[in-house]
Amino acid sequence: MPRIAPSIASVGTAGSARLSSASPRTRAPVQEVSSFAEDPALPADRAQLFWARTLDPLVVPSIAVPAPPGDPASLDLFALPIPAVVLTRQGCAEELLLGPNNRSVRLSVVQGSLLTGPVRLQFLLTNIPQFAQHLLALRRLTDLLQTGSPCSGSIPDRPALARRLLLIQTLDALAVDARHRSVAIALFGQARVEHGWNAGTDHLRSRVRRLIRQALALVQGGYLDLFAMPAD
C-alpha cells in the first residue's frame, strides 16, 4: 500500500492554528475543550477534531521513545499507508489523529515526538476508571495498524447514536424553520405529521418539543456530556 505522509497542524503563539496541507485552513484553538476548533462549513468526513484527553476517555496518553530503523515494534508515521494528523503546540503534548475520521484513533504524546522518525510507544494506563475505554482504544489502534481500519468487534454498536443524530437533525431543522410542525416534518416526514399532529394523542407534539429542548441544550454546552453517555 502507498505511504501517506502525515499532516502537521500547529497552534501558534498568536492563538491561531494552521494545518500544513495543499490548502491551509486557519482555526481558533479552544484549549479547555479541544485543541482547536474546526471550520463548521466542512462536512463531517473531513473535519479533524482533537478533543482534550481530560474530556475524551478514548484518548490514550503515551510516551514516544526513539527506535532504530526497521524495529518491528516501532511506529513510523512517515511509513504508514493510513492518514495521520499531528497537532503540535509549543510546550504541550503532541496530539495524534490516526486513520479515517469515522474510524480514527487518538493518542496524546506527553513525552517525545512522533515527527522525528520511528518510535516505540509506551501507554500510560494510570487512570483506573478509564481502563476499559483505553483498552478499547488500543484495540482499535492495533486493528488500524494491522488492517487499515478497526474491525467491527472493536467498534461496539451504539443505538444511542441514532438519538444523538436525531438531535443534530433537529438543530438543522430549527435553523431552517423554528415552527414545531415544520421541525416535525423535517424529522419524520409530511405523511406522519399529517396523520399524528392533530390526532387524539399529544405524543408527536410532545416528542418534538422534547427534541427541540434537548437539541438547544446541546449548543449551550450540553454536547460535552456526549462523552459520558453510555455506549448502548
Helical residues (DSSP H) of the chain, grouped into ranges: 131-147, 160-176, 180-188, 190-196, 203-219
In tens, the pLDDT along 73-117 reads 999 988 888 888 888 877 778 899 888 766 788 899 999 999 888
- Higher per-residue confidence, 200 vs 232: 200
**Ramachandran quadrant class, 105 (left: phi over 0; alpha: psi -120 to 50; beta: rest):** beta
**Position 40 pLDDT exceeds 80:** no
In tens, the pLDDT along 173-194 reads 999 999 999 999 999 999 999 9
* Cα–Cα distance for residue pair 20/163, rounded to 1 Å: 36
What pLDDT does residue 214 have? 92
What DSSP state is assigned to residue 53?
Answer: T
* Cα–Cα distance for residue pair 103/113, rounded to 1 Å: 23
**Average model confidence (pLDDT) across the chain:** 76
**Position 149 pLDDT exceeds 80:** no
**Position 156 pLDDT exceeds 80:** no
With H, G, I as helix, E, B as strand and everything else as coil, classify residue 194.
helix
Contact 120, 47 (CB under 8 A): no
**Sign of the alpha-carbon dihedral angle for 219, 222, 227, 232:** negative
Overall residue count recorded for the chain in this entry: 232
**Position 154 pLDDT exceeds 70:** no
What pLDDT does residue 180 have? 95
